[in-house]
RNA sequence: UGCCCAAUAGUAUAAUGGUAGUACAGCAGAUUUUGGUUCUGCUUGUCUUGGUUCGAAUCCAGGUUGGGCAACCA
């Protein structure tokens, strides 16, 4: 009686292939990033898909870097990508590089020249574009198209041997200048770049285009199901053409819709711009939609995998609600994160009928959702900090917090009733005076009094301090990419709020990097790597759902 | 006005010729020592016009809308 999730269209294809004995029932996928930036949550979708399909069907997944453009690529990115894939919880079969195949690809290129299916063209980019025609008018051959095999071979070897400067000429496939598919109008296979490659060094001064590398790389690795995003659909006929003319292993490409997430951007170019211009502190800034950003913010790999599972796989363009991702991390952290008390915007509360100087050690349950979560000691005294927003001079009707005459429970402690308050010369409330009910102690309450609200607090004399970073969405609009004009015009100016001195309960001072907590009533928080001994920094991973905040806006 | 892809609640995603379901979001209520969690209930959907069929979200044709394609990027 298991509840079976229905198959997505790729799983259906694979199950049919297995049933029909295609590739002997073998399933081999690959995740093929270009090392020109950090991985983002959209890549996480692709990682979960590619590795997930192989896992489900007892197959393998290669991690292959499509490193065909040395001027944009860097080992820093290679390393971050490997770290992120590992962190996501997946194991690759092999780490491979398209640059491993440069020799083979070169041979493929000569093979096509020999077959009269490729030619060297010294036309300028503008000339090539013009001769290609437009989607509604056919292209015309450039003079180079009729060059002899021998001459093409000689020129291509000269290109390889560095006899020509960058941009002097390219190698083009001779496919079909009249094709309605613009990518088939004699696409470029090789270009000259006298550039240092992060892996092959200075061995090459010609580099294959992505379109001449990707399909063959899949083929060389005997990839059975080459899964990529929708924008590569029109490239598929070209990959199939190369595979057919080269007579090599026929990998098949399938396309799914990439992830778009509301209130952020997913283009590597734009993310790079945010990093380079200092709009964010780096690729792993917790406001970034990168895997490393989410990790630093406190997201778990499991929650991201759960998110990728829930959004599904299909072929239609989509814009996923950020709230779904937030739901996934809350769902996990609600079960696993210990509750602690931290006051981010303090106001002093003095209990007038509690003995000054006395310290009482209270017991606090760590996690009501986890029976084995244990408890901790919390010191209590007559002078506390509470959250400024938990007091109002003129409270509205359903305000279940403090105001003169109102009572609340102090979490894990006593019920207090507000009697008066003090303001400074600017009219800011500075101190609240309360009386407590001695019989109302948590766990042994005999007072018989019921209060509607419970608030968090820390004892002023025992509190430690920490920096707390509060994040909000990076963009003000739901879909920045769809807006007219510069995407940076839609950046949320309040995406980061730093609380330099938050008061935390003493038990929290022992927090380590990697720890996650629920700050009671405030949200889930994770220790940031900027933390130093005695100077903890917490990132807010996500707020708690807050129906009061929503209601009080009306 | 070429070619390709897509179209099911606000957002996603199922139903594969036979009762339009699920999740998130939203709304209302119950419970609660977190205005959290949990529980209950509710609102909202097959782009359109024809055709095939006993029966169409599903198949066919036309239209509409959205997206992609003319980088020495991937």
- For A241-253, how does the pLDDT look when each residue is reduced to its tens digit (9 = 90+)? 999 999 999 999 9
A147 in a known ligand binding site:
no
Q: Which of A72, A145, A199, A258 is catalytic?
A: A258
For position A3, what pLDDT does the model report?
A: 47
Distance A15 CA to B27 C1' (A): 42
**Structure confidence by residue, pLDDT tens digits, A492-542:** 999 999 999 999 999 999 999 999 999 999 999 999 999 999 999 999 999
Structure tokens, A200: 């092959």
Give, rounded to a whole angstrom, the gap between the first and last alpha carbons of chain A. 46
Which residues of chain A (108-167) touch nucleic strand B at CB < 7 A?
A: 123-125, 128-129, 132, 134-136, 166-167
For residue A46, say whether it is annotated as part of any ligand binding site: yes
CA nearest neighbour of A32 among A72, A68, A76, A4: A68
Residue A553 pLDDT level (bands cut at 50, 70, 90): low
Strands (E), A140-283: 170-173, 188-192, 206-208, 225-229, 252-256
Instruction: Indicate the SS3 state at residue A384.
Output: strand
For residue A357 the two structure tokens come to 């100087």
* All domains in chain A, ordered by first residue: 23-256 (3.40.50.620), 268-338+466-552 (2.40.240.10), 342-456 (2.40.240.10)
A34 CB neighbours strand B below 7 A: yes
- CA–CA distance, A34 with A67 (Å, rounded to integer): 6
- Output DSSP code: residue A12: H
Q: Tens of pLDDT along A52-68?
A: 999 999 999 999 999 99
Clarify whether A145 is annotated catalytic.
no
d(CA A233, CA A223): 17
Backbone angles phi, psi at A263, to 5 degrees: 65, 25
Mean pLDDT value across chain A: 96
Q: How far is the CA of A342 from the C1' of B37 (A)?
A: 20
A54 CB less than 7 Å from any atom of strand B: no
- Structure-block tokens of residue A381: 């005294």
Cα separation, A266 vs A325, in Å, equals: 15
- Read out DSSP for A434-455? EEE-GGG-TTS--S----S-EE
Q: Determine whether the distance from the CB of A487 to the nearest atom of strand B is below 7 Å.
A: no
How far apart are the C-alpha atoms of A81 and A97, rounded to whole Å? 13
Q: In this structure, are residues A452 and A400 in contact, taking their beta carbons and an 8 Å threshold?
A: yes
- Segment A309-323 mean pLDDT: 97
CB neighbour list of residue A497: distance below 8 Å, 6 or more residues apart: A469, A470, A471, A472
Q: Is A445 (CB) below 7 Å from strand B? A: yes
Annotated binding residue at A144? no
* pLDDT at residue A6, rounded to an integer: 87
Distance of C1' in B39 from CA in A345, Å: 34
Evaluate if residue A78 carries a pLDDT over 60. Answer: yes
CA A518, A348, A427: angle at the middle one, nearest 5? 120
| Cα–Cα distance, A177 to A166 (Å, whole number) | 25
The answer to whether the annotation marks A28 as part of a ligand binding site is no
Which of residues 401 to 430 on A have a Cβ less than 7 angstroms from any strand B atom? 401, 409, 411-412
Distances (CA, A) of A290 to A173, A229, A304, A324: 37, 18, 11, 17
Active-site residue, A258 included: yes
- pLDDT, tens digit, 9 for 90 and up, residues A412-437: 999 999 999 999 999 999 999 999 99
A353 touches strand B (CB under 7 A): no
Q: Please state the rounded mean pLDDT for residues A383-405.
A: 96
Nearest nucleotide to A170 by CA–C1' distance?
Answer: B72
Nearest DNA or RNA nucleotide to A548 (CA to C1'): B35
How many angstroms is C1' of B3 away from CA of A231?
Answer: 14
Q: Which class for A125: exposed (0-12), middle (13-18), buried (19 or more C-beta within 10 A)?
A: exposed
Looking at residue A4, what is its pLDDT? Answer: 61
A407 CA to B39 C1' in angstroms comes to 28
User: How many Cβ atoms are within 10 Å of A450's Cβ, its own excluded?
Assistant: 9
Indicate which residue of A11, A26, A34, A476 is catalytic: A34
Establish whether A34 is a catalytic residue. yes
Residue identified by tokens 């509470």 is: A386
CA of A175 to C1' of B48 (A): 39
pLDDT digits (tens, 9 = 90+) for A178-195: 999 999 999 999 999 999
Residue in the block written with tokens 């994160």: A337
Residue range A346-355, pLDDT digits in tens: 999 999 999 9
Contact A62, A28 (CB under 8 A): yes
Nucleotide nearest to A34 in CA–C1' terms: B74
A197 touches strand B (CB under 7 A): no
A550 pLDDT band, cuts 50/70/90, is: confident
| Local structure of residue A348 (DSSP, 8 states) | E
Q: Indicate the pLDDT class of residue A283, thresholds 50, 70 and 90.
A: very high
| Cα dihedral sign, A49-A53-A55-A61 | negative
pLDDT (tens digit per residue) in A112-149 = 999 999 999 999 999 999 999 999 999 999 999 999 99
Decide if pLDDT at A2 tops 50. no
Say whether the CB atom of A72 is under 7 angstroms from strand B.
Answer: yes
The string of pLDDT tens digits covering residues A153-179 is 999 999 999 999 999 999 999 999 999
Q: Is the separation of the CB atoms in A29 and A53 below 8 Å?
A: yes
CA–CA dist A362, A375 (Å, integer): 10
Of all nucleotides in the shown strands, which has a C1' nearest the CA of A365?
A: B33
Known binding residue A266? Answer is yes
**What confidence score (pLDDT) does residue A1 get?**
31
- C1' (B58) to CA (A183) span, angstroms: 33
Distance CA A548, CA A521 (A): 11
Give A7 CA → B18 C1' in Å: 21
Q: What's the predicted TM-score (pTM) here? A: 0.96
Q: Is any atom of nucleic acid chain B found less than 7 Å from the CB of residue A282? A: no
């Amino acid at each position: 009686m298991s509840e079976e999730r229905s198959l997505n269209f790729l799983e259906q294809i694979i199950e049919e292939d297995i049933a029909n004995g295609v590739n002997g029932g073998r399933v081999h996928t690959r995740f093929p990033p270009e090392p020109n930036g950090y991985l983002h949550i959209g890549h996480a979708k692709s990682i979960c898909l590619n590795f997930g399909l192989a896992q489900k069907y007892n197959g393998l997944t290669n991690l292959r870097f499509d490193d065909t453009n040395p001027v944009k690529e860097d080992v820093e990115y290679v390393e971050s990508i490997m770290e992120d894939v590992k962190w996501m919880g997946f194991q690759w079969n092999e780490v491979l590089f398209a640059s491993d195949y440069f020799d083979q690809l070169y041979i493929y290129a000569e093979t096509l020249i020999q077959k009269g299916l490729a030619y060297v063209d010294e036309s300028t980019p503008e000339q090539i574009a013009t001769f290609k025609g437009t989607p509604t008018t056919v292209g015309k051959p450039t003079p180079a198209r009729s060059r002899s095999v021998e001459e093409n071979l000689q020129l291509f070897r000269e290109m390889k041997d560095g006899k020509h400067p960058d941009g002097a000429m390219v190698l083009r496939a001779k496919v079909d200048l009249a094709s309605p598919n613009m990518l088939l109008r004699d696409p470029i296979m090789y270009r000259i770049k006298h550039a240092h490659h992060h892996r092959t060094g200075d061995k090459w001064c010609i580099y294959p285009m992505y379109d001449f590398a990707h399909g063959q790389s899949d083929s060389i690795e005997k990839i059975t199901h080459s899964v990529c995003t929708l924008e590569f659909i029109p490239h598929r006929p070209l990959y199939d053409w190369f595979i057919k003319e080269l007579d090599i292993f026929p990998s098949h490409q399938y396309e799914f819709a990439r992830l778009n997430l509301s209130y952020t951007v997913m283009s590597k170019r734009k993310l790079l711009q945010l990093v380079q211009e200092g709009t964010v502190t780096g690729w792993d800034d917790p406001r970034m939609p990168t895997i490393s950003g989410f990790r630093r913010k406190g997201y778990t790999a499991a929650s991201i995998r759960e998110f990728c599972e829930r959004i599904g796989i299909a072929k239609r363009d989509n814009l996923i609600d950020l709230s779904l991702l937030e739901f996934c991390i809350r769902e996990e952290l609600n079960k696993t994160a210990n509750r602690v008390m931290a006051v981010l915007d303090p106001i002093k509360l003095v209990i007038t009928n509690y003995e000054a100087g006395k310290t009482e050690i209270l017991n606090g349950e760590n996690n009501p959702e986890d029976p084995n979560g244990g408890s901790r000691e919390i010191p209590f005294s007559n002078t506390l900090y509470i959250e400024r927003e938990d007091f109002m001079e003129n409270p509205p009707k359903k305000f279940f917090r403090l105001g003169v005459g109102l009572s609340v429970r102090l979490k894990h402690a006593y019920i207090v009733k507000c009697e008066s308050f003090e303001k400074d010369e600017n009219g800011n409330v500075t101190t609240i005076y309360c009386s407590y009910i001695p019989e109302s102690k948590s766990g042994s309450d005999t007072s018989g009094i019921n209060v509607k609200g419970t608030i968090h607090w820390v004892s002023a004399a025992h509190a430690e301090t920490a920096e707390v970073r509060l994040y909000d969405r990076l963009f003000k609009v739901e879909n920045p990419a769809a807006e007219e004009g510069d995407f940076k015009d839609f950046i949320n100016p309040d995406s980061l709020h730093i609380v330099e001195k938050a008061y935390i309960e003493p038990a929290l001072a022992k927090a380590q990097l990697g720890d996650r907590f629920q700050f009671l009533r405030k949200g889930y928080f994770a220790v940031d790597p900027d933390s130093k001994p005695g100077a903890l920094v917490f990132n807010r991973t996500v707020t708690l759902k807050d129906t009061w905040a929503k209601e009080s806006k009306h």
